[in-house]
Structure 1
Amino acid sequence: MSFFSGFKKHSNTKGYMLVFMAFWFLFSSCEEDPAQKVQVWPEVTNEMKPWTRWWWMGSAVNESDLTYVLEDFAARGIGGVEIAPIYGAKGYEDQYIDFLSPRWMEILQFVVQKSNELGMEVDMTNGTGWPFGGPHITNDVAARRLIMQEYQVSAGQSEQPLILLNDQRRREYGAPLIAITAYGPNGEIELVTDYLNEENKLTWQPKSGTWDVIAAFNAHNRMLVKRAAPGGEGYTFDHLNAPALSHYLSRFDEVFEGRNPGLRCFFNDSYEVFGASWSYGFLDEFNSRRGYDLRHFFRELNGQGDTEIIARVKSDYRQTMSELLIQNFSSQWTAWANNKGAKTRNQSHGSPANLIDVYATVDIPEIETFGGEYFPIDGFFWDEDYVSPADHNPLFLKLAASAANITGKRLVSCETFTWVGEHFRVPLSQCKPEAEQVFLSGVNHIFYHGSTYSPQEAMWPGWLFYASVHFGPTNSFWPHVSGLNEYITRCQSILQQGTAANDILVYWPLFDTWQSEEGLEMMMAVHGSRRWLNLPKIQSLLDRGYAFDFVSDSLLGTLTPQSNKLLTIDGQNAYSAIVVPKCHNMPLKTLKKLIRFAENGVPVIFENLPKDVPGLSNLEERRNIMRGLLNEFSEEVQSEGLTLKRSSRAEFILSDDPEIALAYAGVERERFTDVGLKYLRRHSSEGLYYYLVNHTPDKIDAVIPVNFTAKHVIMLDPQTGDYGLIPANSSNGKSNLKIQARSGEAYFLLFTDKDVSDVPQWNYRKSLADEFIVDGEWEIEFFEGGPSLPESVKIGGLKPWTELGNAQMNKFSGTARYTINFNYEGKSHPEYLLDLGNVMHSARVILNGNDLGLVWSPPYIINVGEYLKDGENVLEIEVANLMANRIRNMDINNIEWQLFHEINFVNIRYRHFDASDWEVMPSGLEGPVKIIPQINIPARTPGDLVKDGKEEAELVFNFGSKQGNDGYYPVQASSLYNQVIGYGFDFGTKPLSSMDDSSRFFF
């Protein structure tokens, strides 16, 4: 790209220097004494392990069964539980324990103590079911609803209208009148509340004509706590009202008085107080905050009149609701918990508020995933007819982490796997990419959704929550769940270190969403987030490899411009630019902050300059101020795809393509996405970590330039725990790294300057073609599960047990052992892979009596070289299927197991659950099982970066003869190499170009 005169030119060299300086600034705190040895995998704490939501049905729990479950959780690698009391199981009513009763508190203390003994911790829902509410919520503190009724009054009419809420039920609960406003035919407005007599009749009449009258009522919302536990039933409370919160929490103050239960966090589930559109004191708060009397605009709030005024009034209404929720609920609730020595964990989504600001006020912000997402991973299990497609907006998933990163919070949690598939049909393999997806968004503290306490005496499948997935001892995948747990633990052990390393802030133009004439309160729910967070240019930045956080109008005020960057309050994060996507309405305060940032050298990038201010108060005055501020940016310089707007002190960068503007500002993307890798970046005391995930259907084997350098680079495998040093040829602030990742695999990179003398070399791998198929006579032995154990069987060729035509096997859920004796001749390589082929659905591999571990997600491979014998071998593969076939059999035979109150048990469509019409779910080992010889190539020289993996190469470039006898290095043809060939590898010679100027690979 060429730039006209007057542009701030950024050559490649200057761009690299800016990046180098930016990263030096960000990560200078990571520089360590080289004599200090690197700690590759952090020491594991309980917070690094996955936790689980633990539903207590009817709180019908006892110490014996609690001990059994907690010990099992700890043994499987669960780090903590979140106690969530809900409705009860039928037949156990005499064992129900009322929430917060003395016995309940005694049980809580026992669970905390037992968990601590096991190295676990405990969170607790600050109520039962959801949302917050209970038996002590009286009408004056219950959630409120604004109801507006319309009347017409004419001059001289004889009948006086009766002003009463039409909804008799709500009227019985008390629905005080807020105000009555009359609207004349010529734009007149008159407040007529004082004309209501004791009989609730309006005595006012206009002097002439017919007027519209609107009466507004503060009605009881009448929403009960959903899925409430015994002792927790009642109405939801008013989250917008501080006295209502104090009243709600008073119940907990009483039972926790003098107690220190040792809870880590109080938890609040997603805000689902549907229809809560008003609050006591809301009118006064609105008038004070927005600067005008809302009573004059009841008509517009009711959706009548000029559409622009309607939208502006509703924007002000929504902003007021957001502020009240944050100030009167989330902030004060957190202060209350902190005063008790605990933290808050909060799902802000669903709130009628600025979610980033709500997340920012709590200790641990939490998102959730809902439904299942298809990943194009080779071998990915996708149960197409039994999933509810996810509404996972990648941008939405970043909101909680963004708030945490800006406010210096270490943990970001996620309610994970909610309805990822139908009950009893979700394998561990489907959970892995779902977890990776939230890791990539910045989550580092996963909570399973979830586990139901079930007494050991309960008939299989035990007590179950109505929404999948079931993480508990009765699930047939439970013997193998530690594989998933260990993977998550390794990932979170790194992702909880240090702070995020994102380059860019993206402004969330929420007022463009709020300023809509549709609806009233606006709940920012998981479902439909693509409507209220629809930013295609920002999604493109994410897809292209830019690292960013979202920022709200309020949080902009917490940032400090320094050295051409924006620093967070704790100084741990420094952002190199701020991007403002398409935005029509922007508050003046926000625009002034952006101008101040630009005046201090921070690149401020707009897709377009704002056109207007939001809201209604002092509209023309604020518009004039905005025009004046923007008119100062009168100098304009243009080039292809880019416009600079300059004032005497600052510069705004405008572009329809933020990537062009970021390039001008010297902010570079990472190139992992060019080959299909997703990534996340964090810095810590050990150095800089990259988390890389391959969700493509292909194996990736490529050299990738990385925007960071260090003395050493370590590759870490969270699937196995393996790690090793890899070479990094560094130049111009970049490191060129060879990355190998099969479809479905994930890795970490650690850039460090610490002592790595104890770290082994990483081995790049190359599989050879002479595969050995393991087949012959197999024995299948069923040893764990039910309803009964089928007889062992021998088969002449490998196949799933559900293909053997055996009725007992077709209704079995559990684990069976496939065993084969085979002869392997000519073992000549140090390393071999065992590829299990198609596994339904997880397996433990034992070769010659050696337990090699679990294989539970694609690729279903495991290293066996050390244990493979030249000659006779015995291979045992313990395969666990899913619960589906056993449940199917129970429903076919009308065996009653859905024995729960309230919603009881539903399918993924929220209809009555019935598996009797299911087909038998394929189970067992399909294979083919193969032994694949592998060459492990220690990565010790720069040449190794590109000499291996010739099967991936499309072009061969000549890097000169000074590299040794073999001067030709195959590389994968892509735009990546167009950008790095010629300077990126820097092997001591310049590449010899045999291409003409028109080639896209011209050097």
Structure 2
Amino acid sequence: MKKVFWGFISISLLFLAGSCRFDNSYKEIDSLRKHFVTPPDDARPGVYWYFMDGNLSKEGMTKDLESMKKAGIGSVVFLEVNVGIPRGHVDFLSKEWKDCFKHAVQECERLGISMILGIGPGWTGSGGPWVKAEESMQSLVSSVTHVTGGGKQTILLAKPDPMPPYFGEWAFTPELKERWQEFYKDVAVLAFPRTDEKTFVKDVQEKALYYRAPYSSVPGVKQFLFRDNDSTDLNPRDIVSVDKIVDLTDQLANGSVTWDVPTGEWTVMRVGVRNNGAVTRPAPLPGVGFECDKADTTALMAHLRVFTEELFSLLGERDTLLPGGLKILHMDSWEMGAQNWTPKLRQEFKKRRGYDPQPYYPVYAGYIVGNKQISERFLWDLRQTMQELMLENHSLFVKAYAHKHGMRLSIEPYDMNPMQDLELGASADIPMCEFWSPGGYNTSFSAVEGSSLANIKGQTVVPSEAFTAAGDGWKQHPASMKDQTDWAFAAGINRLTFHTFQHQALRDDLRPGMTMGPYGVHWDRNQTWWPYVDGYHQYVARCQYMMQKGQTVADVLYLAPEEAPFVFRAPKSALDGDFLIDKRGHNFDACPPSLLYTASVENGKIKFPSGMQYSLLVLPVFETMTPRLLEKIKSLVQEGAVLVGIPPLHAPGLTDYPACDQELSAKITELWGGKELPEGLVERAYGKGLVYWGQDIKIKEDNLYPDYQLTSGLLSKMNLEDDFRSDAGKVRYIHKKIKELDFYFVSNRTKESLTTTCTFRVAGKQPQLWNPVNGEIRNLPSFTEDGVCTSIDLSFDANQSFFIVFDGKPRPVPGMKNFQPSKEIQKLDNTWLVSFDSKWGGPGQVEFTELQDWSQSSDDGIKYYSGTAVYHQSFNYSQSLQKPVYLDLGKVKNIAKVWLNGKDLGVIWTNPWEVEITDAIKEGDNELRIEVTNLWPNRLIGDELKPYDGIVNGQWPEWLLHGEKRPGDRYTFATFTHYTKDSPLLESGLLGPVRIVMKE
């Protein structure tokens, strides 16, 4: 019956949508519909596949990958780290390790799973014990000696100490610490009249790129660095005058200089370079070493020759056309911090900035050279130069290197990043983001950064490290993750990469087995619900397939300032929520300065080579801008763009200073008509475009950008109403467009059922509902439109989501409802036979006269049970079979699979907890079977009542090392203890009520 029913629906859709046309539009919607129902493999989600310091097993790798394939995982990020697990016997990069790696790649090729390889051990970056100190990340350091003038003196200068490593010295091996302490090279010796040493540049350790703390996880880390330009409180003794600096570099010998010291008090500064203390982390012990210089291709290639080149050689010639195998090189979150020196820095600085940085080296140490503004300008030049060098000689070099080997490069461009996040992300083939599970760090900003870059550059895939967690303890599951999954899709993410699938190197009876210490959402084959997870993965794949199609519709383009470091934060007023931030009615993207240079104007909109376009360009309320960038902005407005923003105050660096400020001022006068902010919000015509500026912008500045209501009002003035709105205000959205085809993803943000009128900025087309949970596609018969927007009454269950697809000629059907209410026609309240697996402490088969929570049972075998129990019930059915009939499971903890009369009806994992049974139910006697699976915590808690026989003092137990029988009687084994015997148990089982319902 179902095949006939769906055939009728498909035919109806074709005629109702005016699909008798056989043009390209028809083919596109037909292909979209086909692959929505059965998504292709490349729409599948991925996992971080973590290996723990030598705990590798070929057999375990094959089991991991085969379980992934069966469960609908399409890609893996291969990283080896060391977090909270005793070392294994397969040393990193040993012959045995390489053999395991080759096996993993070949198995990925066999199974059609694509592999993404981190470019170094750990997740921080690129390095190892093979990195020489002179090829490592370096800092400019100094020591000072004070002398009194009046004749020739031989002055002994102390060798500058290294800066303390940001993460401390604990990560060093003894040999590495010795190398760190020994490495030193002199750079310069400078002398200048002694200053008041109480006066220094504010926050110089950040501004001079000694340290960049993790923005997401350390309170108080700045989004960008504020300038201190006020020199009114300084006197001549507070500053170092450039024209009074004496270069004594050539006189340095054996740590001393001989100098005829002029009269007065002098400071002699010995300047040199040291390793900055950044090491691979958290790397397997044989992979612990210095991070390589991120601004020098020679240093980078020396690293790559040892790591990736050896692996490529091992793999031999690969068929790059295979769907599986090694496809992408990866740079994970930038957690190695900053560096402010590279051997060619002075030479490169002169070439890029047009002046010699050496007289300004005292600024590194906090001295004010010239005045505060000049020192701040030099520090900006330093950061820009280092950013350019790290982009050109690290990320872009690795990208070219990956292309040479038939691969691409993905980058997570955030956290401890001394560059601008957006600029680092723009250098990747695939910018990647990250989000944590609730209770973890708030990295939602990275979703905006990653999706913005992909939109502007026309990259169809936006991956994200997904559901990163700390202390999760196997508590999350598909249903609990549904709301955040939908948030990610609405934020523009379209490839979830779950953190983490821990490689299971232990034998199969030791479950839940290997963990990444306390971290991760435990997305691996030892999860209780893993055999059923493809129900959720199918949902994810349908959504991701759709999200990877077409272009995102966005009205506003926020331009980032020319700053490094810089984390883009959207105006708070443009967002709803804190941890899960949803966009309001006008979508937006963030643009790094480098990408704006590729933009043009078409029909009054800013357009990029990808085809992405925006109606408003919004400037940050920021004091600096280079004349070059302002010239580009001016040209866009002249061509017809609409600009919102106030003028900058001055240029940022010392290049061509002060002429650069005069040039900027002239351009400001051309574009804005002056610098004095008018009251309110003023419209000014320039060329074919418009500029909106005034004190309203400055007064209402919000995360550097104008208040959302101001930009929204301007868009309304341009006849661009909200792209989406809901009268209940509780529905998130994203709008995509494929040529003339529009579709929206909409999701109920609440845990309650919701009926609301949703308005879409599309008209003249038939709305259809595409349900990504079950693949259902149907017309929505009831809607209204006004020539610009279409309004539709939509009903959502808790956290339910749909695609609303607009295609074909609109044909509303008067009197018909979009959603039919359910009517209960029978409650299944007979006795249930429930079977619990005795291997996991269950009592075998028991009777439930009524449904109950396992954790409340008086039987310890049920109370502490974790795993799958099978419910059986026989019932008689005598109602009509003429309308669609559904089985409603009520409340389920935590996932279920249903059979009726031997027919597999699939997995039920989310609201509404129902499945259509029209084709399976029959008049008379029926046999119902429901497999219900809960989570690991209850069994783990119960086992805490039993003697412990696991890891002690970081060592594997002897029985495990020697393959002996386990001495204790615990059912579970895990490498990290999340619970005590007193931890609260979790609600578990089929709680119901279980009913048969019919749609009216």
Q: Which amino acid aligns with 2:541?
A: T
In the TM superposition, residue 303 of structure 1 has moved relative to its aligned partner by: 3.3
Tell me whether 1:504 sits opposite 2:556 in the alignment.
yes
* Structure-2-length-normalised TM-score: 0.79
Distance 1:694 1:182, change over 3 A: farther
Distance 1:79 1:638, change over 3 A: same
Tell me whether 1:443 sits opposite 2:493 in the alignment.
yes
In the TM superposition, residue 563 of structure 1 has moved relative to its aligned partner by: 2.4
In the TM superposition, residue 425 of structure 1 has moved relative to its aligned partner by: 1.8
Q: Which amino acid aligns with 1:533?
A: R
Tell me whether 1:179 sits opposite 2:179 in the alignment.
no
Could you tell which deviates more after superposition, 741-750 or 832-841?
Answer: 832-841
Which whole-Å CA distance do the structure 2 matches of 1:149 and 1:752 have between them?
Answer: 71
Match of 1:462 in 2: 513
Could you tell which deviates more after superposition, 572-581 or 768-777?
Answer: 768-777
Could you tell which deviates more after superposition, 535-544 or 69-78?
Answer: 535-544
In the TM superposition, residue 619 of structure 1 has moved relative to its aligned partner by: 3.9
RMSD (Å), alpha carbons: 3.6
Match of 1:576 in 2: 615
Q: How many residues align?
A: 860
Written as runs of structure 1 = structure 2, the 5 A alignment for 1:829-978 is: 830-864=883-917, 867=920, 873-898=926-951, 913-925=977-989, 927-931=991-995, 933-936=997-1000
Match of 1:256 in 2: 312
Provide, for residues 775-832 of structure 1, a one-character-per-residue CA deviation record: whole Å limited to 9, x for no partner. Answer: 4533332138x54333333233322111012223333221112344456675588245
Q: Which amino acid aligns with 2:426?
A: A
**Native 8 Å contact 1:192 1:204 kept in 2:** no
**Native 8 Å contact 2:54 2:88 kept in 1:** no
Question: Which of 358, 361, 371 is matched with 1:295 structurally?
Answer: 358
Match of 1:779 in 2: 833
Tell me whether 1:764 sits opposite 2:818 in the alignment.
yes
Can you give the 5+ residue segments of structure 1 that lack an aligned partner in the other structure?
A: 1-29, 374-387, 515-521, 905-910, 937-1003
**Native 8 Å contact 2:756 2:793 kept in 1:** yes
Which whole-Å CA distance do the structure 2 matches of 1:31 and 1:624 have between them?
Answer: 58
Distance 1:427 1:898, change over 3 A: farther
Provide, for residues 639-658 of structure 1, a one-character-per-residue CA deviation record: whole Å limited to 9, x for no partner. Answer: 99631133466531235322
Which whole-Å CA distance do the structure 2 matches of 1:739 and 1:34 have between them?
Answer: 26
Match of 2:213 in 1: none
Tell me whether 1:138 sits opposite 2:125 in the alignment.
no
In the TM superposition, residue 872 of structure 1 has moved relative to its aligned partner by: 5.5
Which whole-Å CA distance do the structure 2 matches of 1:822 and 1:307 have between them?
Answer: 84
Written as runs of structure 1 = structure 2, the 5 A alignment for 1:985-996 is: none
Tell me whether 1:547 sits opposite 2:587 in the alignment.
yes
Which whole-Å CA distance do the structure 2 matches of 1:102 and 1:426 have between them?
Answer: 38
Match of 1:658 in 2: 711
Which whole-Å CA distance do the structure 2 matches of 1:211 and 1:639 have between them?
Answer: 50
**Native 8 Å contact 1:41 1:494 kept in 2:** no
Which whole-Å CA distance do the structure 2 matches of 1:902 and 1:666 have between them?
Answer: 68
Match of 2:283 in 1: 228
Provide, for residues 97-145 of structure 1, a one-character-per-residue CA deviation record: whole Å limited to 9, x for no partner. Answer: 542x555444444433333332322222222222211232111211213
Match of 1:482 in 2: 534
Q: Which amino acid aligns with 1:424?
A: W
Which whole-Å CA distance do the structure 2 matches of 1:590 and 1:745 have between them?
Answer: 44
Provide, for residues 384-443 of structure 1, a one-character-per-residue CA deviation record: whole Å limited to 9, x for no partner. Answer: xxxx343133x4311112112222222121111111651222222233223222222222
In the TM superposition, residue 596 of structure 1 has moved relative to its aligned partner by: 0.8
Distance 1:34 1:425, change over 3 A: closer
Which whole-Å CA distance do the structure 2 matches of 1:634 and 1:582 have between them?
Answer: 15
Which whole-Å CA distance do the structure 2 matches of 1:31 and 1:163 have between them?
Answer: 79
Question: Which of 82, 90, 104 is matched with 2:77 structurally?
Answer: 82
In the TM superposition, residue 222 of structure 1 has moved relative to its aligned partner by: 3.1
Question: Which of 472, 477, 481 is matched with 1:422 structurally?
Answer: 472
Provide, for residues 515-546 of structure 1, a one-character-per-residue CA deviation record: whole Å limited to 9, x for no partner. Answer: xxxxxxx4x6xxxx6xx636334447963221
Which whole-Å CA distance do the structure 1 matches of 2:545 and 2:363 have between them?
Answer: 52
In the TM superposition, residue 695 of structure 1 has moved relative to its aligned partner by: 1.1
Report SS of the residue matched to 2:498: strand
Match of 1:969 in 2: none
Which whole-Å CA distance do the structure 2 matches of 1:171 and 1:862 have between them?
Answer: 63
Written as runs of structure 1 = structure 2, the 5 A alignment for 1:805-816 is: 805-816=858-869
Match of 1:610 in 2: 648
Distance 1:650 1:454, change over 3 A: closer
Question: Which of 782, 788, 805 is matched with 1:750 structurally?
Answer: 805
Match of 1:598 in 2: 637
Seq. identity, %:
22
Distance 1:680 1:609, change over 3 A: same
Which whole-Å CA distance do the structure 1 matches of 2:248 and 2:858 have between them?
Answer: 79
Q: Which amino acid aligns with 1:134?
A: G
In the TM superposition, residue 866 of structure 1 has moved relative to its aligned partner by: 5.0
Q: Which amino acid aligns with 1:700?
A: L
Report SS of the residue matched to 2:326: coil
Q: Which amino acid aligns with 1:652?
A: V
**Native 8 Å contact 2:435 2:465 kept in 1:** yes
Which whole-Å CA distance do the structure 2 matches of 1:277 and 1:934 have between them?
Answer: 69
Distance 1:389 1:255, change over 3 A: closer
Report SS of the residue matched to 2:136: coil
Which whole-Å CA distance do the structure 2 matches of 1:265 and 1:716 have between them?
Answer: 32
Provide, for residues 875-917 of structure 1, a one-character-per-residue CA deviation record: whole Å limited to 9, x for no partner. Answer: 443221111123334444353444897999xxxxxx9845225
Report SS of the residue matched to 1:792: strand
Match of 2:203 in 1: none
Written as runs of structure 1 = structure 2, the 5 A alignment for 1:334-483 is: 334-350=399-415, 351-370=417-436, 372-373=437-438, 388-393=439-444, 395-419=445-469, 422-455=472-505, 457=507, 459-466=510-517, 467-483=519-535
**Native 8 Å contact 2:852 2:989 kept in 1:** yes
Question: Which of 855, 863, 888 is matched with 1:802 structurally?
Answer: 855
Which whole-Å CA distance do the structure 1 matches of 2:620 and 2:726 have between them?
Answer: 22
Tell me whether 1:535 sits opposite 2:571 in the alignment.
yes
In the TM superposition, residue 664 of structure 1 has moved relative to its aligned partner by: 2.6
Provide, for residues 821-847 of structure 1, a one-character-per-residue CA deviation record: whole Å limited to 9, x for no partner. Answer: 456675588245544343222222334
Question: Which of 312, 319, 329 is matched with 2:384 structurally?
Answer: 319
**Native 8 Å contact 2:157 2:270 kept in 1:** no
Distance 1:152 1:807, change over 3 A: farther
* Structure-1-length-normalised TM-score: 0.79
Q: Which amino acid aligns with 2:279?
A: L
Which whole-Å CA distance do the structure 2 matches of 1:871 and 1:641 have between them?
Answer: 76
**Native 8 Å contact 1:829 1:934 kept in 2:** no
Provide, for residues 572-625 of structure 1, a one-character-per-residue CA deviation record: whole Å limited to 9, x for no partner. Answer: 22222212243332222222111111111111122x332332233344322222
Distance 1:739 1:204, change over 3 A: farther
Tell me whether 1:279 sits opposite 2:336 in the alignment.
no
Which whole-Å CA distance do the structure 2 matches of 1:661 and 1:148 have between them?
Answer: 53
Q: Which amino acid aligns with 1:256?
A: F
In the TM superposition, residue 683 of structure 1 has moved relative to its aligned partner by: 2.3
Report SS of the residue matched to 2:538: helix
Can you give the 5+ residue segments of structure 2 that lack an aligned partner in the other structure?
A: 1-21, 163-176, 196-235, 319-324, 698-709, 958-974
In the TM superposition, residue 265 of structure 1 has moved relative to its aligned partner by: 0.8
**Native 8 Å contact 2:731 2:749 kept in 1:** yes
Tell me whether 1:112 sits opposite 2:163 in the alignment.
no
Distance 1:639 1:884, change over 3 A: same
Question: Which of 635, 655, 670 is matched with 2:723 structurally?
Answer: 670
Which whole-Å CA distance do the structure 2 matches of 1:533 and 1:138 have between them?
Answer: 38
Which whole-Å CA distance do the structure 1 matches of 2:860 and 2:260 have between them?
Answer: 82
Match of 2:4 in 1: none
Distance 1:901 1:153, change over 3 A: farther
Tell me whether 1:645 sits opposite 2:710 in the alignment.
no
Which whole-Å CA distance do the structure 1 matches of 2:349 and 2:334 have between them?
Answer: 22
**Native 8 Å contact 1:144 1:218 kept in 2:** yes
**Native 8 Å contact 1:537 1:658 kept in 2:** no
**Native 8 Å contact 1:90 1:899 kept in 2:** no
**Native 8 Å contact 2:726 2:759 kept in 1:** no
Report SS of the residue matched to 2:432: strand
Report SS of the residue matched to 2:505: coil
**Native 8 Å contact 2:766 2:808 kept in 1:** yes
Report SS of the residue matched to 2:304: helix
Which whole-Å CA distance do the structure 1 matches of 2:574 and 2:659 have between them?
Answer: 32
Distance 1:896 1:605, change over 3 A: farther
Q: Which amino acid aligns with 2:104?
A: V
